[in-house]
Structure 1
Amino acid sequence: MFRVPERVRAAVAGRFGARRVLVVGDLMLDRYLTGAVGRISPEAPVPVLRLGGERVVAGGAANVARNLIGLGLSVAVAGVCGADADGSALTALLDAAGMDRAAVLVDLGRPTTSKTRVVASGQQMLRIDSEDTAALSAPLADALVQAVLARLPDAQVLLLSDYAKGVLSADVCARLIDAAASRGLPVLVDPKGRDFSRYRGATLLTPNRAELALATGADATDLDGLLAQGEVLRAALGLRQVVVTLGELGMALLDGDHPQPTRVPAVAREVFDVSGAGDTVIASIAAGLAAGLDPIDTAHLANLAAGVVVGHRGTAAITAAELAAAIAGEAALEQAAKVRGLADMRAQVEAWRAAGERVVFTNGCFDLLHVGHVTYLERARRHGQRLVVGLNTDRSVRALKGPERPLIGEQDRARVLAALAAVDGVVLFDEDTPIELIRALRPDVLAKGADYREDEVVGAAEVKGWGGQVVLVPLVADRSTSAIVARMHPDG
């Protein structure tokens, strides 16, 4: 699990500093016709929908912009629409959302791209698309590029949202990416199609699993092979990062700085509709990067945001309030998830070590947690990046402390330890000593209180034998569970 850092919480609470993002791409109108089906038509064997309502929302690149607005950013949007009723409806929605749409041009030769979904009792029955996917005429493409270039000086991020509807040709992409690069602006791309070479020189791409498989020729069912080919593609196109969205498996970040992909696991949520989830992902990443967050932070943030919008029906946009609530829920889930069985903890320790992180192990009863415990754990964690606590079970505590202990049951003790920021993992052990646990986890650092000598520390010889380190951590004076119990019962 990824802990949500304070800097991420602060960015969301501060609405990402109201940074400005310039969104360029295929604008759409999403229309929903909803009602109920009660009979089959006598004219043909098809259901008859009794229309109950109609709703229109901005979709495609405009939905990316909606997500950014919802997160608190300032947005300018560029693209084309037709000189038709759908175009008027779409521009009215952009105006109502508070976007700068001066770079939205009218193409007299094509309809506004629209998707009409017929939905009965929450189930989509039919989708009707109106579109022209031909590339823009040369004069219109040039006018669009010039309109975008005029707005680059005010932007912190350029975002290209490609739905393969003709706006983002290879020439348009190359001109915009080069212009942004000359200004030092990050360029984020939600890609489409088989040929990703049009995005050469961009900062970050966000393909889904199927899109990356199509672009690389890799087998989408072989995740390791697919991500390996994604890294080859990233390097060949001169991209800094590729974030691959993996549905229920979360995301994978490829950045060249790490030998293995950084995996961001999904948080289990009830899924109603995945429409627009990719728009939310790239919008959240753009918001994070605009606010100065690092790629791993932004990927985790985007993962949480996507988990929110798939819980809505229809194309939906995230809001800063929803994202803050998701972060709060994630924090509680992260704490509970820190308590693991041995097999899961061993796999997690191996993953941390593979990512170059130094793992510290300590153990104890931690009955009636007090400031001495907390300070000790904080000091122990300073010797690495991750701290795993081996926690004696109730039976093990009784064997060590006597039949009156523990005062607090093992599950409660584990959960309270997991709530500490210094603790990354808790694993229970039932033996009188943690030696088997230490041998299984093979920590880089074994920590114990300074009231021990090194030759008294269980597992010291083993840890030093595989090249690890043993540290004796200073304790807070006059702080112990036994002393607290004695004060509670002064007469014994």
Structure 2
Amino acid sequence: MQAGKGFDVGGWRGRRVLVLGDVMLDRFVYGHVERISPEGPIPVLRFDNEKLMLGGAANVARNIASLGGVPVLVGVLGEDAEADLITGTLLGEDGIEGRLLRHGGHPTTVKTRFVAAGQQMLRLDVEKMLVLDAGLRDRLAGQVEEAIEGLGAIVLSDYAKGVLSPELVSAVMAIAARHGVPVVVDPKRVDASVYRGARVMTPNALEALQATGFDTSTDEGAEAAARMLCEKGGVQSVVLTRGAQGMTIYAPGEEEGSVPVHIPTAASEVFDVSGAGDTVIATLSLGIAAGLPIARAAALANAAAGVAVAKLGTAAVHASELQRALFDRSVSDQENKVLGGDDAIAQVRRWQAEGRSVGFTNGCFDLVHPGHIAILQKARAACDRLVVALNTDASVKRLKGPSRPVQTETARAIVMASIGAVDLVTLFDEDTPIDLIEALRPDVLIKGADYRIDQVVGADIVRQQGGRVVLIPIEEGHSTTSIIARAG
């Protein structure tokens, strides 16, 4: 799945997303270790500097802001200096609209991480479970109701610190339903039915295991867990985050996610996973607010998480960083489109197992011209995934003569892979692609309308397997031969 295909992250700029949940302060104390304490077998951290930033649900809001959205943050803080710091400085620095309630006797949650040489040595948590009484619950629900106009999504960021009680979640779900606002949930409760009615839920592997009993370390287990969470929890879709194993996406109400899809992690280097889940749900909520399908929004979230874990601290990902990561992956995807032999067959089988129709067309495509592009676009419209088979250099020479091809098979494959309508490029050395068609078993065989169906190589094979043959009208005025003649 190509993250961001057909979507610029600027497309969600200005979308308002409300984040409700457990607001925290993250403190990072940086230093260096030179010796072991004489008082005990522990390292002595010599202080260098410290950094304070928004954490928990506030970090979700921070990521929404840095990605170009407009976050509204609702939660509960204590009557203390840490709360003053959050409301007085940090929210303003990150461009967040704060609708935060103060509650005496309840300390603001603070997580302090001690770091040396890029590694966390210790984390100190100062926290107390919030007891959410009816009055406080109603005030929080009131904040959501007051901010509901113009919202593209609501995020429930549950860190199990007490804000998101079942009663408050139910009240917010009702408000969202009345106004037609999708709800995105980062869960902590084992009973997923608490979040019934949510558009999407994003459990991690451990949370899914605890809620369903399925081992999500395997694709099969992750699929089973996602299905159970949807069915028993009453949520519309699940994006199951699996760390180094990537994501499993199940959105039965949408074409792209009706069959569980697994996408590999986008992280190339991992320095700090702090807040990566916040980045995922922030990106996912913005994608949904912008009207993207769940699978596409999740692919963007996966790419954003890859950027986040390459940073130190509770990281916020900026729109420019995500756009750059998507560009780099697009270049990599073009290279990965060119497959041969068993790899090409395996990819076609994966697509077909996902319920996607696979189209096949072939040609020399020596000098790609507008006529080729038009044919490829029409071919892609006839199927879900398009395979283009290129004649090798040796095959082209036999068909076109010793002066052809003008471009090598490697160059032709790179050009073909860069065309958005093309999903896979492979090569064949024979004069016809009959053996390749037999091996790939495409659902749709596509050729130019200058052929009759009975002249299309492999038509009988595809039709016998229940497939179909599509003839695409040829664009007049475009010819590789004429281009070469004019150049000469």
Q: Select the residue among 240, 245, 250 that pairs with 2:246.
A: 250
Structure 1 partner of 2:35: 39
Q: Secondary structure at the match of 2:316?
A: coil
Partner of 1:463: 462
Per-residue deviation, 1:135: 2.8
Q: Which residue identity is paired with 2:199? A: T
User: Quick one: structure 1 residues 141 and 383, their matched pair in 2 at CA, closer, same or farther if it must change by over 3 Å?
Assistant: closer
Q: Distance in 1 between matches of 2:401 and 2:133?
A: 84
Which range is displaced more, 69-78 or 416-425?
69-78
SS in 2 for 1:21: strand
CA RMSD in angstroms, aligned pairs only: 2.1
Report the equivalent of 1:391.
390
Q: Residue by residue, what CA displacement relative to the aligned partner does 1:331-382 show, whole Å, maximum 9, x if unpaired?
A: 2222222111232222222233334333221112211222333233233333
Give the match for residue 451 of structure 2.
452
Matched, 1:143 2:139: yes
Q: Structure 1-normalised TM-score? A: 0.92
Q: Is contact 1:2–1:264 with CA below 8 Å preserved after alignment?
A: no
Q: Give, in whole Å, the separation in 1 of the partners of 2:470 and 2:154.
A: 49
User: Is 2:28–2:112's contact at 8 Å kept on the other side of the alignment?
Assistant: yes
Q: Is there any run of 5+ residues in structure 2 with no aligned partner, and where?
A: none
Identical aligned residues as a percent = 50
What is the deviation of 1:123?
A: 1.1
Distance in 2 (alpha carbons) for counterparts of 1:152 and 1:444: 46
How far 1:116 moved relative to its partner?
0.7
SS in 1 for 2:148: helix
SS in 2 for 1:90: helix
8 Å CA contact 1:234, 1:240 repeated in 2: yes
Structure 2 residue 93 is matched with structure 1 residue 96: yes
Native 8 Å contact 1:21 1:159 kept in 2 = yes
Distance 2:348 2:131 in 1: 51
Q: Does the Cα contact within 8 Å between 1:264 and 1:299 map onto a contact in 2? A: no
More off after superposition, 172-181 vs 467-476? 467-476
C-alpha deviations, 1:192-225, integer Å up to 9, x for none?
1322232122222111111111111222334313
Counterpart position of 2:2: 2
Does the Cα contact within 8 Å between 2:23 and 2:55 map onto a contact in 1?
yes
Query: Matches of 1:3 and 1:403 in 2, distance apart?
Result: 42
C-alpha spacing 1:482/1:180, structure 2 compared with 1 (3 Å): closer
1:124 CA displacement: 1.0
Deviation at 1:259?
5.0
Instruction: Measure the CA separation in 2 of the matches of 1:224 and 1:476.
Output: 46
> Partner residue of 1:159?
155
Aligned amino acid, residue 406 of structure 2: L
- Aligned twin of 1:298: 297
- Partner of 1:248, secondary structure, is helix
Q: In the superposition, relative to structure 1, how do residues 202 and 259 fare at CA in structure 2: closer, same or farther (>3 Å)? A: closer
Q: Secondary structure, in 3 states, of the residue corresponding to 1:118?
A: strand
Deviates more, 1:197-206 or 1:367-376: 367-376
Q: Partners of 2:182 and 2:449 in 1: how far apart? A: 50
Q: Larger deviation: 67-76 or 396-405?
A: 396-405
**What is the TM-score with the length of structure 2 in the denominator?**
0.93
Match of residue 188, structure 2, among 192, 196, 205 = 192
| Contact map agreement 2:3 2:299 (CA 8 A) in 1 | no
Judge which range, 39-48 or 479-488, deviates more: 479-488
Match of 1:428 in 2: 427
CA offsets 1:83-118 (integer angstroms, 9 cap, x no match): 2222222222113223222x3122221221111111
| Deviations 1:304-334, CA, capped at 9 Å, x for gaps | 2111111111111122222222222232222
2:45 aligns with 49
1:402 and 1:185 map into 2 onto residues whose CA distance is 63
Unmatched runs of 5 consecutive residues or more in structure 1: none
Distance in 2 between residues matched to 1:345 and 1:304, nearest whole Å: 25
- C-alpha contact (below 8 Å) 2:194/2:233 kept by paired residues: no
